Structure 1
Amino acid sequence: MTVQTTGSVATAIDSARWPAVARAPRGPSSMMTGRIADSLLRRAVAKLPIRLEYPDGTVIGAADQTLPTMMIHDAKALSRRVGRFGLIGFGESYMAGEWTSNDLAGVMTAFANSVAELIPTALQWLRPLAVVRHPRSMYNSLTQARSNIAEHYDLSNDLFAEFLDETMTYSSALFDTSRPGWADLADAQHRKIDSLLDSARVGPGSRLLEIGTGWGELAIRAAARGAHVHSITLSAEQQRMAQQRVADAGLSDRVVIELKDYREVDGLYDAVVSVEMIEAVGYRFWPTYFHTLDRLVSPGGRVAIQAITMPHDRMLASRNTYTWIQKYIFPGGMIPSVEAIVGITERETRLRTVGVTSLRADYAETLRLWRERFLARREAVSALGFDDVFHRMWELYLAYSEAGFRCGYLDVYQWTFAPTGSDL
């Protein structure tokens, strides 16, 4: 175990569990790229509505002390990580406690708003120095996909229960704008689910396929409408809890939950629904995903998905880049663009768009509420066996995601498709 003390943050980091976090890069090359990274960070912050505070009292940025602030506890370690590993290093530095913030989401939003300008044009040639090679986990074969899903969703049902609402729904809610807030989150999740089921025309007697079970709330609400639900997941933990929740609701006769990959499903369904699943299948498998939806929906049926998107130019730039989110949160994942989804469906399937609704502001609020509750449950999370590095990692993930939706770098859509020739 490596014991690391960083300014006011003292952290015992398990080097076996967190090898890249336990020790910052060293050597002449890391020192050189670190100096460049430190200069770029200072230059960027001087133009952004945030501040840097260093242990010696130096402050970079605006004088307004109410602005989001990065408190730097180990400037050399932070700069060497960023210089060597780019944004992965930036995230690992936070995990190591080398910097903290009084408003993490605010800091991340400011950076996200200026992501395209953070590195000056004259220094773009340095990008390859901080690009990490894609690991084999990025290729979602049948075997690897199961492993990737398990790494996130099989962490612990109890962990997710600490910050999700009672519906155990892990995707953007759809708020009634007249009553936003935590008290309304469960209602907002039901509103989101009902919107998807309505778009897919799910009602009494409908044969519904759900790709990505989650913890079963959508299947329960669909079955309560009288639908016959076939739900599939790659998470054994989710399957176990979802089956219990379905049984508790008295709906086991209408819901079957299988541990199965979407590529292994056969049959025809009146409706196919998939919530924030496309992000997990990987860039190479987006065509396969939509071919599968097309194959499984009946001629008069509907497909309704909820999909996170990013701008097309950013997607093209990042599809060959290994990111902090992929390394620590969603291995094998990749967020598509609207153009990618439209292009694949119109070129390669019968599926045609019949409805699109953005939930971008709703997702920012959902993530804020999750992060607020996660932070409030720190002791409970620790009691489940998750250490301080994990806690900082998860906090950064939630803040990073919230920032993406707040600034518009990310969006999320409820998207409805109908097969060509059906009654639109």
Structure 2
Amino acid sequence: MWTKALDKLLTHLIRRGRLSVTFPDGSIYSYGDGLGGADVAIALHDAALPRKIVLSPDMAVGEGYMDGRLTVENDDVYGFLSLAISNIAAQGQPWFRRPLEVAKFLMRRMDQFNPVTRSRVNVAHHYDLSGELYDLFLDRDRQYSCAYFRSPDMTLEAAQEVKKHHIAGKLLIEPGMRVLDVGCGWGGMGLTLASDYGAQVTGITLSREQHAMANKRVEAAGLSGRAKFELMDYRHVTGQFDRIVSVGMFEHVGLPHYSAYFDRLHRLLTPTGVALVHTIGRAGPPGATSPWVTKYIFPGGYCPSMSEAMTAIERNNMVTADVEVWRLHYAQTLRHWHDRFMANIDKVRALYDDRFCRMWRYYLIASELTFRLNNQVVFQFQLSPDQEAVPLTRDYLYQGPGFGHQQVAE
């Protein structure tokens, strides 16, 4: 029964390229026209996999690959996922899977309900992994978010530097300004604003690993008078700030909390303040997070459509001064991360195990291809209570080599 159901599913989905599947009973089926796409072969080694794939393809394929119950010929995960994602985006789900997709969509608010205690657990799941792991694939500054490639041949380090200064330009930082960095990571953005722009930075994170490293970096850089990092949820921050920056954190807020998030930003900003929210988003309508990603990578995470983010912004009486959409920049970033990860795979294996290596590789490749093939993008929302807080054109961003970057002399 389930072999036939999976055969129908794959017959519906795989139209371009070629997918050969060896089923658990040894039978081999082929799907697609063999034209205009990858030619990939996979094998299913578990009799339960056909049923699991029909009921939840994302979860079953991801888990199957992690556990070795699904193998890809020549370990061509890139080719396999390119074929799968491009065909699914083109064909959509067959009728017998649509009720399951509707149910997943309806459950998304529960999956994304992130009160403070749950947010701490979710953050620890991903960001409190061994610090050595992130050193093996990120840039030297540990920027774990989309880089900005002014040219395709830029190094990852250079593209991450440009990203930080592009954001600083949008914030219109002046020396002495009080800046809040919401979801500060390992401190790179905040340290740049403090050292290069003379800002007084307060960063917040829920990750103990990130908090400890960020404060060590403050001491090492001699910036104790300009930057500090707190272990704190955004809902607990008080005071007033001239500028607020949030890079790669909004994806962890959760749809039920969007209005509270933007309300908090509005309350924390001075009347002429400026906020810059940088987040992964979807170019299409609202959707739901892959259950595999929710379970193994980012519990409680969700990448919003523009309509979902803008609805919450509009409710909180802030002017949207600018919205910028970055398309393939994150795909390029993820390719750099994947290549660095694979170059250090033996070191990753020494930290964890083969299953972890397969999981992380699958995550990096699937993420890259979602940007390349399935309309995932990055949004930058520039917000203010005052419609005159920001220049009326973007010209100010593109002056000089650092996009408006003016380093403050020590």
Give TM-score, length-normalised by structure 1: 0.83
Query: Contact conserved, 2:81 with 2:369, CA < 8 A, in 1?
Result: yes
Asked if residue 100 in structure 1 is aligned to residue 72 in structure 2, the reply is yes
Asked if residue 51 in structure 1 is aligned to residue 30 in structure 2, the reply is no
Provide the rounded CA distance (Å) in 2 between the counterparts of 1:353 and 1:135. 25
CA RMSD of aligned residues (A): 2.6
Where does residue 333 of structure 2 map in the other structure? Answer: 366
CA offset digits 1:337-368 (Å, max 9, x no partner):
1111111111x112222222222211000001
Provide the rounded CA distance (Å) in 2 between the counterparts of 1:50 and 1:411. 28
CA offset digits 1:356-406 (Å, max 9, x no partner):
22222110000011111112211101111x122211111111111101110
Provide the rounded CA distance (Å) in 1 between the counterparts of 2:95 and 2:111. 32
Provide the rounded CA distance (Å) in 1 between the counterparts of 2:209 and 2:145. 17
Provide the rounded CA distance (Å) in 1 between the counterparts of 2:267 and 2:302. 23
Query: Contact conserved, 1:109 with 1:406, CA < 8 A, in 2?
Result: no
Closer, same or farther: CA 341–222 of 1 in aligned 2, 3 Å: same
Where does residue 352 of structure 1 map in the other structure? Answer: 319
Aligned residue runs from structure 1 range 222-371, under 5 A: 222-224=193-195, 225-313=197-285, 315=286, 317-318=287-288, 323-346=291-314, 348-371=315-338
Provide the rounded CA distance (Å) in 1 between the counterparts of 2:64 and 2:44. 10
CA offset digits 1:197-223 (Å, max 9, x no partner):
110112311110000111111111101
Where does residue 179 of structure 2 map in the other structure? Answer: 208
Provide the rounded CA distance (Å) in 1 between the counterparts of 2:199 and 2:313. 27
Where does residue 409 of structure 1 map in the other structure? Answer: 375
| Secondary structure of the structure 2 residue equivalent to 1:257 | strand
Where does residue 120 of structure 2 map in the other structure? Answer: 146
CA offset digits 1:301-321 (Å, max 9, x no partner):
1101111111453x2x42xx7
Asked if residue 381 in structure 1 is aligned to residue 348 in structure 2, the reply is yes
Q: How far has the Cα of 1:51 moved from its partner?
A: 2.5
Provide the rounded CA distance (Å) in 2 between the counterparts of 1:130 and 1:284. 16
Aligned sequence identity (%): 34
| Secondary structure of the structure 1 residue equivalent to 2:136 | helix
Closer, same or farther: CA 361–123 of 1 in aligned 2, 3 Å: closer
| Secondary structure of the structure 1 residue equivalent to 2:153 | coil
Query: Contact conserved, 1:266 with 1:296, CA < 8 A, in 2?
Result: yes
CA offset digits 1:165-185 (Å, max 9, x no partner):
1111100000121523xxx11
Provide the rounded CA distance (Å) in 1 between the counterparts of 2:362 and 2:243. 36
Query: Contact conserved, 1:68 with 1:103, CA < 8 A, in 2?
Result: no
Provide the rounded CA distance (Å) in 2 between the counterparts of 1:226 and 1:371. 35
For these two proteins, the number of residue pairs brought into alignment is 383
Q: How far has the Cα of 1:268 moved from its partner?
A: 0.9
Provide the rounded CA distance (Å) in 1 between the counterparts of 2:121 and 2:316. 29
Query: Contact conserved, 1:131 with 1:322, CA < 8 A, in 2?
Result: no
Which of 391, 400, 404 aligns to 2:366? It is 400
Where does residue 15 of structure 1 map in the other structure? Answer: none
Closer, same or farther: CA 392–121 of 1 in aligned 2, 3 Å: same
CA offset digits 1:320-342 (Å, max 9, x no partner):
x7611111110011111111111
Letter in 2 for 1:362: H
Give TM-score, length-normalised by structure 2: 0.86
Q: How far has the Cα of 1:273 moved from its partner?
A: 0.1
Provide the rounded CA distance (Å) in 2 between the counterparts of 1:270 and 1:125. 48
Provide the rounded CA distance (Å) in 2 between the counterparts of 1:269 and 1:154. 28
**Unaligned stretches of 5+ in structure 1?**
1-31
Which deviates more, 74-83 or 401-410? 74-83
Which deviates more, 81-90 or 202-211? 81-90
Query: Contact conserved, 1:294 with 1:419, CA < 8 A, in 2?
Result: yes
Which of 192, 195, 206 aligns to 2:166? It is 195
Which of 105, 126, 134 aligns to 1:160? It is 134
**Unaligned stretches of 5+ in structure 2?**
391-410
Which of 22, 43, 59 aligns to 1:88? It is 59
Which of 33, 42, 50 aligns to 1:71? It is 42
